[in-house]
A and B are shown apart, each in its own frame.
Chain A
Amino acid sequence: MRNVRLIARLDIKGPNLIKGIHLEGLRKVGDPQAFARRYYEQGIDELIYMDIVASLYGRNSLKDIVSRTARDVFIPMTVGGGVRSVEDVRELLRAGADKVAINTAAVNRPALLTECSRAFGSQCIVLSIEAKRQGQGQGGEPRWEAFTDNGREHSGRSVVDWAREATELGAGEILLTSVDQEGTRKGFDVELVRAVTAVTDIPVIASGGLGAPQHLVDVCLRGGADAVAIADALHYNRLELAALREEARRAGVPVRAVPSSALVS
Protein backbone atom coordinates (compact mmCIF):
# COMPACT_ATOMS: atom_id res chain seq x y z
CA MET A 1 0.00 0.00 0.00
CA ARG A 2 1.32 3.40 -0.92
CA ASN A 3 1.42 6.34 1.44
CA VAL A 4 -2.08 7.67 1.87
CA ARG A 5 -2.19 11.40 1.18
CA LEU A 6 -3.79 13.77 3.65
CA ILE A 7 -5.35 16.65 1.78
CA ALA A 8 -6.84 19.82 3.23
CA ARG A 9 -9.97 20.76 1.32
CA LEU A 10 -10.85 24.43 1.28
CA ASP A 11 -14.22 25.32 -0.17
CA ILE A 12 -14.33 28.88 -1.40
CA LYS A 13 -17.11 31.36 -1.98
CA GLY A 14 -15.91 34.68 -3.33
CA PRO A 15 -12.93 35.66 -1.18
CA ASN A 16 -13.90 33.46 1.79
CA LEU A 17 -13.20 30.00 3.07
CA ILE A 18 -16.61 28.52 3.80
CA LYS A 19 -18.02 25.30 5.16
CA GLY A 20 -21.45 23.76 4.99
CA ILE A 21 -23.28 20.56 5.67
CA HIS A 22 -24.24 18.35 2.70
CA LEU A 23 -22.72 21.19 0.64
CA GLU A 24 -25.50 23.51 1.88
CA GLY A 25 -25.93 26.03 4.68
CA LEU A 26 -22.59 27.67 4.06
CA ARG A 27 -20.80 29.54 6.81
CA LYS A 28 -17.78 31.80 6.51
CA VAL A 29 -14.69 30.39 8.17
CA GLY A 30 -12.04 32.93 7.25
CA ASP A 31 -9.31 33.90 4.81
CA PRO A 32 -8.49 30.83 2.69
CA GLN A 33 -4.89 31.84 2.15
CA ALA A 34 -4.18 32.01 5.88
CA PHE A 35 -5.67 28.57 6.40
CA ALA A 36 -3.73 27.15 3.46
CA ARG A 37 -0.51 28.53 4.84
CA ARG A 38 -1.25 27.11 8.27
CA TYR A 39 -1.87 23.61 6.91
CA TYR A 40 1.31 23.85 4.85
CA GLU A 41 3.26 24.73 7.96
CA GLN A 42 1.76 21.78 9.79
CA GLY A 43 2.86 19.40 7.03
CA ILE A 44 -0.28 18.69 5.02
CA ASP A 45 0.46 16.68 1.87
CA GLU A 46 -1.72 18.62 -0.59
CA LEU A 47 -4.43 21.25 -0.85
CA ILE A 48 -7.73 21.31 -2.68
CA TYR A 49 -9.43 24.62 -3.47
CA MET A 50 -12.99 24.28 -4.62
CA ASP A 51 -14.96 27.32 -5.73
CA ILE A 52 -18.38 26.02 -4.89
CA VAL A 53 -20.48 28.71 -6.48
CA ALA A 54 -18.51 29.24 -9.67
CA SER A 55 -20.48 26.86 -11.81
CA LEU A 56 -23.77 28.44 -10.69
CA TYR A 57 -22.90 31.97 -11.63
CA GLY A 58 -20.60 31.18 -14.51
CA ARG A 59 -17.47 32.85 -13.26
CA ASN A 60 -14.13 31.78 -11.97
CA SER A 61 -12.90 33.91 -9.11
CA LEU A 62 -10.44 31.36 -7.82
CA LYS A 63 -7.44 32.34 -9.88
CA ASP A 64 -6.47 35.15 -7.56
CA ILE A 65 -6.61 33.05 -4.44
CA VAL A 66 -4.65 30.30 -6.18
CA SER A 67 -1.82 32.49 -7.35
CA ARG A 68 -1.58 34.29 -4.02
CA THR A 69 -1.41 30.94 -2.22
CA ALA A 70 1.18 29.55 -4.63
CA ARG A 71 3.48 32.42 -3.67
CA ASP A 72 4.42 30.86 -0.37
CA VAL A 73 2.86 27.42 -0.22
CA PHE A 74 5.08 24.85 -1.92
CA ILE A 75 2.91 21.76 -2.06
CA PRO A 76 0.53 20.47 -4.74
CA MET A 77 -2.74 22.28 -5.21
CA THR A 78 -5.83 20.94 -6.90
CA VAL A 79 -8.28 23.61 -7.99
CA GLY A 80 -11.84 23.23 -9.17
CA GLY A 81 -15.12 25.03 -9.66
CA GLY A 82 -16.55 26.39 -12.88
CA VAL A 83 -13.94 24.82 -15.16
CA ARG A 84 -15.51 24.50 -18.60
CA SER A 85 -12.79 24.32 -21.20
CA VAL A 86 -9.19 23.45 -22.02
CA GLU A 87 -8.52 27.18 -21.78
CA ASP A 88 -9.93 27.35 -18.22
CA VAL A 89 -7.62 24.51 -17.23
CA ARG A 90 -4.63 26.24 -18.79
CA GLU A 91 -5.35 29.46 -16.89
CA LEU A 92 -5.56 27.71 -13.53
CA LEU A 93 -2.36 25.77 -14.17
CA ARG A 94 -0.62 29.00 -15.08
CA ALA A 95 -1.94 30.60 -11.90
CA GLY A 96 -0.14 27.94 -9.86
CA ALA A 97 -2.54 24.99 -9.72
CA ASP A 98 -1.02 21.56 -10.25
CA LYS A 99 -4.23 19.72 -10.94
CA VAL A 100 -7.64 20.87 -12.01
CA ALA A 101 -10.90 19.27 -10.91
CA ILE A 102 -13.86 19.14 -13.28
CA ASN A 103 -17.42 18.09 -12.50
CA THR A 104 -20.35 19.77 -14.27
CA ALA A 105 -18.60 20.43 -17.58
CA ALA A 106 -17.42 16.83 -17.79
CA VAL A 107 -20.91 15.53 -17.05
CA ASN A 108 -22.28 17.74 -19.82
CA ARG A 109 -19.53 16.82 -22.26
CA PRO A 110 -17.34 13.86 -21.20
CA ALA A 111 -14.94 14.40 -24.12
CA LEU A 112 -13.62 17.43 -22.21
CA LEU A 113 -11.74 15.00 -19.95
CA THR A 114 -9.96 13.53 -22.96
CA GLU A 115 -9.16 16.94 -24.43
CA CYS A 116 -7.69 18.18 -21.17
CA SER A 117 -5.67 15.08 -20.44
CA ARG A 118 -4.24 15.15 -23.97
CA ALA A 119 -3.31 18.79 -23.58
CA PHE A 120 -1.79 18.69 -20.09
CA GLY A 121 -1.35 15.03 -19.17
CA SER A 122 -3.87 12.94 -17.28
CA GLN A 123 -1.92 13.43 -14.04
CA CYS A 124 -3.38 16.92 -13.68
CA ILE A 125 -6.99 16.17 -14.59
CA VAL A 126 -9.16 15.28 -11.61
CA LEU A 127 -12.76 14.22 -12.05
CA SER A 128 -14.85 15.57 -9.21
CA ILE A 129 -17.90 13.44 -8.41
CA GLU A 130 -20.59 14.55 -5.99
CA ALA A 131 -22.32 11.33 -4.99
CA LYS A 132 -25.68 10.81 -3.33
CA ARG A 133 -27.25 7.52 -2.33
CA GLN A 134 -30.31 6.85 -4.46
CA GLY A 135 -32.20 3.70 -3.53
CA GLN A 136 -30.96 0.21 -4.23
CA GLY A 137 -30.23 -2.06 -7.13
CA GLN A 138 -32.12 -5.30 -7.84
CA GLY A 139 -29.92 -7.29 -5.50
CA GLY A 140 -30.42 -4.77 -2.69
CA GLU A 141 -26.97 -3.25 -3.25
CA PRO A 142 -26.67 0.49 -2.68
CA ARG A 143 -26.68 2.84 -5.66
CA TRP A 144 -25.27 6.31 -5.99
CA GLU A 145 -26.05 9.04 -8.48
CA ALA A 146 -23.58 11.69 -9.56
CA PHE A 147 -24.77 15.26 -8.95
CA THR A 148 -23.56 18.62 -10.16
CA ASP A 149 -23.75 22.16 -8.80
CA ASN A 150 -23.00 21.19 -5.20
CA GLY A 151 -25.35 18.29 -5.07
CA ARG A 152 -28.31 20.22 -6.47
CA GLU A 153 -28.66 18.90 -10.00
CA HIS A 154 -29.21 15.29 -10.99
CA SER A 155 -26.92 14.04 -13.73
CA GLY A 156 -28.78 10.77 -14.23
CA ARG A 157 -25.42 8.99 -14.13
CA SER A 158 -24.52 6.14 -11.85
CA VAL A 159 -21.41 7.10 -9.88
CA VAL A 160 -19.77 3.74 -10.46
CA ASP A 161 -20.39 3.80 -14.22
CA TRP A 162 -19.26 7.40 -14.46
CA ALA A 163 -16.03 6.66 -12.59
CA ARG A 164 -15.29 3.78 -14.94
CA GLU A 165 -16.06 5.84 -18.04
CA ALA A 166 -14.04 8.84 -16.87
CA THR A 167 -11.03 6.61 -16.25
CA GLU A 168 -11.19 5.45 -19.85
CA LEU A 169 -11.59 9.03 -21.04
CA GLY A 170 -8.33 10.06 -19.41
CA ALA A 171 -9.06 11.37 -15.92
CA GLY A 172 -5.98 10.93 -13.74
CA GLU A 173 -7.63 10.99 -10.36
CA ILE A 174 -11.11 11.06 -8.81
CA LEU A 175 -12.22 13.38 -6.05
CA LEU A 176 -15.18 11.49 -4.64
CA THR A 177 -17.41 13.56 -2.37
CA SER A 178 -20.25 11.97 -0.51
CA VAL A 179 -22.91 14.66 -0.30
CA ASP A 180 -24.71 12.56 2.30
CA GLN A 181 -21.74 12.53 4.65
CA GLU A 182 -20.26 15.92 3.80
CA GLY A 183 -20.03 18.23 6.81
CA THR A 184 -21.48 15.65 9.21
CA ARG A 185 -18.17 14.48 10.74
CA LYS A 186 -19.78 11.03 11.02
CA GLY A 187 -17.32 9.21 8.81
CA PHE A 188 -16.91 8.57 5.09
CA ASP A 189 -19.32 6.59 2.97
CA VAL A 190 -16.95 3.63 2.90
CA GLU A 191 -19.21 1.54 0.68
CA LEU A 192 -19.24 4.30 -1.92
CA VAL A 193 -15.47 4.57 -1.92
CA ARG A 194 -15.06 0.84 -2.16
CA ALA A 195 -17.54 0.63 -5.05
CA VAL A 196 -15.50 3.21 -6.97
CA THR A 197 -12.00 1.94 -6.15
CA ALA A 198 -13.16 -1.48 -7.34
CA VAL A 199 -13.80 -0.25 -10.88
CA THR A 200 -10.92 2.16 -11.47
CA ASP A 201 -7.17 1.95 -11.19
CA ILE A 202 -6.61 5.69 -10.88
CA PRO A 203 -6.22 7.21 -7.40
CA VAL A 204 -9.41 8.03 -5.49
CA ILE A 205 -9.60 10.84 -2.94
CA ALA A 206 -12.34 10.20 -0.38
CA SER A 207 -14.09 13.39 0.68
CA GLY A 208 -16.89 14.12 3.12
CA GLY A 209 -17.37 12.99 6.67
CA LEU A 210 -14.01 12.85 8.39
CA GLY A 211 -14.47 13.62 12.07
CA ALA A 212 -12.16 11.18 13.81
CA PRO A 213 -8.94 9.32 12.98
CA GLN A 214 -10.80 6.01 12.80
CA HIS A 215 -12.77 7.36 9.83
CA LEU A 216 -9.54 7.75 7.89
CA VAL A 217 -8.45 4.24 8.82
CA ASP A 218 -11.79 2.76 7.72
CA VAL A 219 -11.94 4.47 4.35
CA CYS A 220 -8.36 3.50 3.53
CA LEU A 221 -8.30 -0.07 4.76
CA ARG A 222 -11.88 -1.03 3.87
CA GLY A 223 -12.65 1.46 1.12
CA GLY A 224 -9.27 1.40 -0.62
CA ALA A 225 -8.98 5.20 -0.69
CA ASP A 226 -5.64 6.55 -1.92
CA ALA A 227 -6.08 9.91 -0.25
CA VAL A 228 -8.49 11.61 2.12
CA ALA A 229 -9.79 15.15 2.02
CA ILE A 230 -10.18 16.85 5.38
CA ALA A 231 -12.16 20.04 5.80
CA ASP A 232 -13.91 21.20 8.95
CA ALA A 233 -12.02 18.81 11.24
CA LEU A 234 -9.02 21.01 10.38
CA HIS A 235 -10.78 24.34 9.92
CA TYR A 236 -12.24 24.20 13.42
CA ASN A 237 -9.18 22.62 15.02
CA ARG A 238 -11.02 19.47 15.89
CA LEU A 239 -8.13 17.31 14.82
CA GLU A 240 -4.41 17.84 14.86
CA LEU A 241 -2.57 16.75 11.77
CA ALA A 242 0.38 15.22 13.60
CA ALA A 243 -1.94 13.20 15.83
CA LEU A 244 -3.94 12.06 12.81
CA ARG A 245 -0.77 10.82 11.11
CA GLU A 246 0.32 9.02 14.23
CA GLU A 247 -3.01 7.26 14.69
CA ALA A 248 -3.17 6.29 11.02
CA ARG A 249 0.28 4.76 11.18
CA ARG A 250 -0.55 2.88 14.36
CA ALA A 251 -3.61 1.38 12.66
CA GLY A 252 -1.56 0.20 9.69
CA VAL A 253 -2.31 3.00 7.22
CA PRO A 254 0.98 4.21 5.73
CA VAL A 255 1.34 7.99 5.68
CA ARG A 256 4.25 10.23 4.89
CA ALA A 257 6.69 10.63 7.72
CA VAL A 258 7.15 14.33 8.36
CA PRO A 259 10.40 14.85 10.24
CA SER A 260 10.66 18.14 12.05
CA SER A 261 13.29 19.21 9.48
CA ALA A 262 10.58 18.92 6.83
CA LEU A 263 8.27 21.33 8.61
CA VAL A 264 8.28 25.00 7.87
CA SER A 265 10.33 26.77 10.49
Chain B
Amino acid sequence: MAQKVTIVDYGAGNIFSVSRAVEHFGAEVVLSGDPAVIRHAERLILPGVGAFANGMQGLRERGLVEPVREYAASGRPFLGICLGMQMMVERSEEFGSHDGLGILPGKVTRIAGKDAHGTPMKIPHIGWNRLTMPERRATWKDTILEGLPVESGAYFVHSFSVVPAREEDRLADTWHGDYRVSAAIQRGNVSGCQFHPEKSGPIGLRIIGNFLESR
Protein backbone atom coordinates (compact mmCIF):
# COMPACT_ATOMS: atom_id res chain seq x y z
CA MET B 1 0.00 0.00 0.00
CA ALA B 2 1.12 3.53 -0.74
CA GLN B 3 2.92 5.42 1.98
CA LYS B 4 2.14 8.95 0.96
CA VAL B 5 -0.56 10.64 -1.10
CA THR B 6 -0.47 14.29 -2.05
CA ILE B 7 -3.82 16.04 -2.37
CA VAL B 8 -3.81 19.28 -4.33
CA ASP B 9 -5.05 22.09 -2.11
CA TYR B 10 -6.21 24.95 -4.31
CA GLY B 11 -9.04 26.35 -2.22
CA ALA B 12 -11.75 23.89 -3.26
CA GLY B 13 -13.87 22.36 -0.51
CA ASN B 14 -14.41 18.73 0.41
CA ILE B 15 -10.76 17.92 1.02
CA PHE B 16 -11.56 16.54 4.46
CA SER B 17 -13.48 13.51 3.21
CA VAL B 18 -10.95 12.65 0.53
CA SER B 19 -8.17 12.86 3.11
CA ARG B 20 -10.06 10.63 5.50
CA ALA B 21 -10.71 8.03 2.82
CA VAL B 22 -6.97 7.89 2.07
CA GLU B 23 -6.06 7.73 5.77
CA HIS B 24 -8.57 4.91 6.16
CA PHE B 25 -5.97 2.75 4.40
CA GLY B 26 -3.17 3.89 6.65
CA ALA B 27 -1.59 6.13 4.04
CA GLU B 28 -0.22 9.54 4.92
CA VAL B 29 -1.91 12.58 3.38
CA VAL B 30 0.08 15.60 2.29
CA LEU B 31 -2.20 18.52 1.62
CA SER B 32 -0.36 20.97 -0.55
CA GLY B 33 -0.66 23.92 -2.88
CA ASP B 34 3.11 24.15 -3.32
CA PRO B 35 4.27 23.65 -6.95
CA ALA B 36 7.45 21.85 -5.90
CA VAL B 37 5.59 19.42 -3.64
CA ILE B 38 3.09 18.66 -6.42
CA ARG B 39 5.84 18.07 -8.98
CA HIS B 40 7.61 15.57 -6.74
CA ALA B 41 4.56 13.77 -5.35
CA GLU B 42 4.56 9.99 -5.29
CA ARG B 43 0.85 9.81 -5.85
CA LEU B 44 -1.48 12.70 -6.57
CA ILE B 45 -5.19 13.40 -6.12
CA LEU B 46 -6.85 16.45 -7.65
CA PRO B 47 -10.17 16.87 -5.80
CA GLY B 48 -12.77 19.49 -6.49
CA VAL B 49 -16.29 20.74 -6.09
CA GLY B 50 -17.89 23.76 -7.65
CA ALA B 51 -17.54 25.73 -10.84
CA PHE B 52 -14.92 24.91 -13.46
CA ALA B 53 -13.67 28.48 -13.95
CA ASN B 54 -13.18 28.93 -10.18
CA GLY B 55 -11.27 25.67 -9.96
CA MET B 56 -8.90 26.57 -12.79
CA GLN B 57 -8.50 30.04 -11.32
CA GLY B 58 -7.53 28.45 -7.99
CA LEU B 59 -4.85 26.38 -9.74
CA ARG B 60 -3.57 29.33 -11.73
CA GLU B 61 -3.32 31.67 -8.72
CA ARG B 62 -1.11 29.13 -6.97
CA GLY B 63 1.01 28.48 -10.03
CA LEU B 64 -0.13 24.85 -10.14
CA VAL B 65 -1.21 24.42 -13.75
CA GLU B 66 2.22 23.47 -15.10
CA PRO B 67 3.25 21.38 -12.07
CA VAL B 68 0.06 19.32 -12.31
CA ARG B 69 0.59 18.81 -16.06
CA GLU B 70 4.19 17.80 -15.49
CA TYR B 71 3.13 15.40 -12.78
CA ALA B 72 0.54 13.78 -15.12
CA ALA B 73 3.27 13.30 -17.73
CA SER B 74 5.59 11.68 -15.19
CA GLY B 75 3.74 8.37 -15.28
CA ARG B 76 3.06 8.35 -11.54
CA PRO B 77 -0.51 7.58 -10.37
CA PHE B 78 -2.89 10.49 -10.73
CA LEU B 79 -6.56 10.62 -9.77
CA GLY B 80 -9.00 13.47 -10.43
CA ILE B 81 -12.31 13.53 -8.59
CA CYS B 82 -15.44 15.32 -9.81
CA LEU B 83 -14.31 18.82 -10.82
CA GLY B 84 -10.76 17.43 -10.58
CA MET B 85 -11.61 14.97 -13.38
CA GLN B 86 -13.28 17.69 -15.42
CA MET B 87 -10.23 19.96 -15.21
CA MET B 88 -8.10 17.16 -16.70
CA VAL B 89 -9.59 17.70 -20.17
CA GLU B 90 -9.10 20.51 -22.65
CA ARG B 91 -11.98 22.86 -22.04
CA SER B 92 -15.35 23.39 -20.41
CA GLU B 93 -18.54 25.05 -21.55
CA GLU B 94 -19.67 25.84 -18.00
CA PHE B 95 -20.61 29.56 -17.90
CA GLY B 96 -18.71 30.41 -21.09
CA SER B 97 -15.70 28.62 -22.53
CA HIS B 98 -12.74 27.91 -20.28
CA ASP B 99 -9.45 26.13 -20.81
CA GLY B 100 -8.71 23.07 -18.73
CA LEU B 101 -5.43 21.33 -18.02
CA GLY B 102 -5.55 19.47 -21.34
CA ILE B 103 -4.07 16.28 -19.91
CA LEU B 104 -6.61 14.17 -21.78
CA PRO B 105 -8.48 15.20 -24.94
CA GLY B 106 -12.12 16.06 -24.42
CA LYS B 107 -14.46 18.73 -23.18
CA VAL B 108 -16.93 19.37 -20.39
CA THR B 109 -20.54 20.00 -21.34
CA ARG B 110 -23.84 20.35 -19.53
CA ILE B 111 -25.59 17.05 -19.03
CA ALA B 112 -28.97 16.59 -20.65
CA GLY B 113 -31.25 13.60 -20.67
CA LYS B 114 -34.89 12.64 -20.85
CA ASP B 115 -36.77 9.89 -19.10
CA ALA B 116 -38.84 7.18 -20.80
CA HIS B 117 -41.77 9.61 -21.13
CA GLY B 118 -39.63 12.29 -22.78
CA THR B 119 -39.61 14.47 -19.66
CA PRO B 120 -36.27 16.22 -19.09
CA MET B 121 -34.31 14.71 -16.20
CA LYS B 122 -33.57 16.90 -13.21
CA ILE B 123 -30.28 18.76 -13.12
CA PRO B 124 -28.05 18.52 -11.09
CA HIS B 125 -27.68 14.79 -11.34
CA ILE B 126 -27.69 14.00 -7.61
CA GLY B 127 -27.68 10.58 -6.06
CA TRP B 128 -26.52 7.01 -6.40
CA ASN B 129 -26.22 5.69 -9.89
CA ARG B 130 -24.79 2.53 -11.41
CA LEU B 131 -21.39 2.27 -13.04
CA THR B 132 -21.54 0.38 -16.30
CA MET B 133 -18.79 -0.93 -18.55
CA PRO B 134 -18.36 1.14 -21.72
CA GLU B 135 -18.47 -0.76 -25.02
CA ARG B 136 -14.82 -0.23 -25.74
CA ARG B 137 -13.68 -1.69 -22.38
CA ALA B 138 -13.49 -5.40 -21.77
CA THR B 139 -12.44 -5.29 -18.14
CA TRP B 140 -11.71 -3.09 -15.15
CA LYS B 141 -8.69 -5.20 -14.26
CA ASP B 142 -5.62 -3.10 -13.43
CA THR B 143 -7.73 0.04 -13.10
CA ILE B 144 -9.14 1.88 -10.09
CA LEU B 145 -12.40 -0.03 -10.60
CA GLU B 146 -10.77 -3.45 -10.34
CA GLY B 147 -12.79 -5.98 -8.38
CA LEU B 148 -15.95 -3.93 -8.23
CA PRO B 149 -19.19 -5.80 -8.71
CA VAL B 150 -20.52 -4.81 -12.14
CA GLU B 151 -23.31 -2.23 -11.82
CA SER B 152 -22.04 -0.95 -8.49
CA GLY B 153 -23.67 2.23 -7.32
CA ALA B 154 -21.65 5.38 -6.73
CA TYR B 155 -22.61 8.84 -5.53
CA PHE B 156 -22.87 11.61 -8.13
CA VAL B 157 -23.56 15.30 -7.76
CA HIS B 158 -22.92 17.43 -10.83
CA SER B 159 -24.51 19.37 -13.67
CA PHE B 160 -21.67 19.12 -16.18
CA SER B 161 -19.65 16.13 -17.29
CA VAL B 162 -16.68 15.14 -19.40
CA VAL B 163 -17.12 14.05 -23.00
CA PRO B 164 -13.84 12.29 -23.78
CA ALA B 165 -12.58 12.75 -27.32
CA ARG B 166 -11.51 9.09 -27.46
CA GLU B 167 -14.03 6.37 -26.70
CA GLU B 168 -11.27 4.20 -25.33
CA ASP B 169 -10.58 6.68 -22.53
CA ARG B 170 -13.98 5.89 -21.03
CA LEU B 171 -13.55 3.67 -17.99
CA ALA B 172 -17.17 3.63 -16.79
CA ASP B 173 -20.40 5.23 -17.86
CA THR B 174 -23.64 5.92 -16.08
CA TRP B 175 -27.02 6.97 -17.42
CA HIS B 176 -29.03 10.03 -16.49
CA GLY B 177 -32.25 9.07 -18.23
CA ASP B 178 -31.23 8.49 -21.83
CA TYR B 179 -28.04 10.55 -21.49
CA ARG B 180 -24.72 8.77 -21.20
CA VAL B 181 -22.55 10.36 -18.53
CA SER B 182 -18.86 9.59 -18.46
CA ALA B 183 -18.56 8.31 -14.88
CA ALA B 184 -14.84 7.52 -15.01
CA ILE B 185 -12.00 7.93 -17.48
CA GLN B 186 -8.56 6.42 -17.60
CA ARG B 187 -5.50 6.47 -19.81
CA GLY B 188 -2.21 5.15 -18.54
CA ASN B 189 -1.45 6.59 -15.11
CA VAL B 190 -4.25 9.17 -15.31
CA SER B 191 -7.69 8.31 -13.92
CA GLY B 192 -10.72 10.43 -13.15
CA CYS B 193 -14.08 9.83 -11.51
CA GLN B 194 -17.06 12.08 -11.93
CA PHE B 195 -18.68 10.49 -8.88
CA HIS B 196 -17.30 10.87 -5.36
CA PRO B 197 -15.51 7.69 -4.23
CA GLU B 198 -15.03 9.28 -0.80
CA LYS B 199 -18.83 9.47 -0.52
CA SER B 200 -19.73 6.15 -2.11
CA GLY B 201 -19.53 3.97 0.97
CA PRO B 202 -17.53 0.74 0.95
CA ILE B 203 -17.53 0.60 -2.88
CA GLY B 204 -15.95 4.03 -3.01
CA LEU B 205 -13.36 3.12 -0.41
CA ARG B 206 -12.41 0.17 -2.54
CA ILE B 207 -11.76 2.51 -5.45
CA ILE B 208 -9.52 4.69 -3.28
CA GLY B 209 -7.77 1.52 -2.10
CA ASN B 210 -7.21 0.43 -5.71
CA PHE B 211 -5.72 3.82 -6.51
CA LEU B 212 -3.34 3.52 -3.57
CA GLU B 213 -2.17 0.16 -4.87
CA SER B 214 -1.90 1.15 -8.52
CA ARG B 215 1.49 1.49 -10.14
Q: What residues of chain A have their CB less than 8 Å away from a CB belonging to chain B? A: 1-3, 5, 40, 43, 45, 67, 70-72, 74-76, 90, 93-96, 98, 119-124, 172-173, 201-203, 226-227, 256-259, 261-265
Contact = CB atoms under 8 A, between A and B. Distances in A.
Interface residues of B, number: 39
A95 B13 CA distance: 9
Given A256-B128, A264-B201, A120 B49 contact: yes
B17 interface: yes
Interface stretch (B56-64, B102-110, B153-161, B162-170): B153-161
A83 B117 CA distance: 39
Contact residues of B: prevailing secondary structure:
mixed
Nearest to A204: B122
Interface of B: 13-17, 20-21, 24, 49-51, 115, 120-124, 126-129, 149, 151-153, 155, 157-159, 176, 196, 198-205
Contact of A173 (B50, B126, B159, B196): B126
A153 B123 CA distance: 32
B16 A121 contact: no
B151 to A, nearest CB: 8
Contact of B153 (A40, A120, A262): A262
B26 to A, nearest CB: 14
B21 A3 contact: no
A173 to B, nearest CB: 7
Nearest to A96: B16
Contact of B13 (A120, A227, A259): A120
Interface centre among A43, A120, A173 (most CB of B within 10 A): A120
A90 B49 CA distance: 12
Nearest to A44: B201
Given A121-B49, A123-B158, A98 B201 contact: no
The interface residues of chain A, by DSSP majority, are classed as loop
A5 B127 contact: yes
Given A3-B129, A123-B159, A203-B122, A70 B16 contact: yes
A121 B198 contact: no
Nearest to B21: A74
A75 B115 contact: no
A98 B14 contact: yes
Given A3-B127, A96-B16, 9 more contacts: A2-B122, A2-B127, A67-B16, A74-B199, A98-B157, A98-B199, A124-B49, A262-B153, A263-B202
A5 to B, nearest CB: 5
Contact of A120 (B50, B122, B152, B176): B50
Contacts of A67: 16
Contacts of A261: 149, 202-203
A264 B189 CA distance: 29
B131 to A, nearest CB: 12
Nearest first, the 3 A-B pairs at minimum CB distance are A93-B13, A121-B50, A256-B128
Q: Which of A1, A3, A71, A262 has the most CB of B within 10 A?
A: A262
A67 B16 CA distance: 8
A45 B129 CA distance: 11
Contact of A122 (B17, B115, B124, B129): B124
Nearest to B197: A74
A203 B123 CA distance: 8
A256 B153 contact: yes
